[in-house]
Amino acid sequence: MSAASEPARGHGLAACAWSAQRVDLFWVGEDARLRHSWWDGRAWSPAEDLGGTLASAPAVSSWAPDRMEVFAVFPDGELWDRYWDGERWHAWESLGGQLAGEPAASSAGPDRLDVFATGLDGQTWHRWWDGEQWVPWESSAR
């Protein structure tokens, strides 16, 4: 990868793929805002600013073709997320929590998203999307 094709500088990389020719890369810019670039099989897109004020690295997961959700802890200690619905990015929304660690996200299939983060109490906390709603936080064994 040449310097001209590399995403902008920052920290906290997260990536997901929702097709054989698509990789989406997210990172925290030097101004603490979320940045996004994608590989379409030929070249990297210019970086786009997805806003927010991140206090953690992002986590991202894709749950279907052309669908993905990105998560980050904000300075208020809550988990915030944005999602791509195939046409546009939806606004940041709080999923709550009292968190101190980096989030991690995964998907077991269509309409199922799981997100984990370390709470201020040192426990691992878990929320998931069940296809209709976000299920309340629960403590998970670590």
Across the chain, mean pLDDT equals 91
Residue 142 makes CB contacts below 8 A (sequence gap 6+) with: 123, 124
pLDDT in tens, the chain (142 residues): 434 445 556 789 999 998 888 999 999 999 999 999 999 999 999 999 999 999 999 999 998 889 999 999 999 999 999 999 999 999 999 999 999 989 999 998 888 999 999 999 999 999 999 999 999 999 986 6
What are the CA-CA distances from residue 79 to residues 35, 56, 67, 87 (Å)? 17, 10, 19, 24
| Residue 124 main-chain phi, psi, to 5 deg | -85, 125
DSSP secondary structure, 41-83, as one string: SS-BPPPEEEE---SS--EEEEEETTEEEEEEE-TTS-EEEEE
pLDDT at residue number 89 = 98
Domains and CATH numbers, the chain: 3-105 (2.120.10.70)
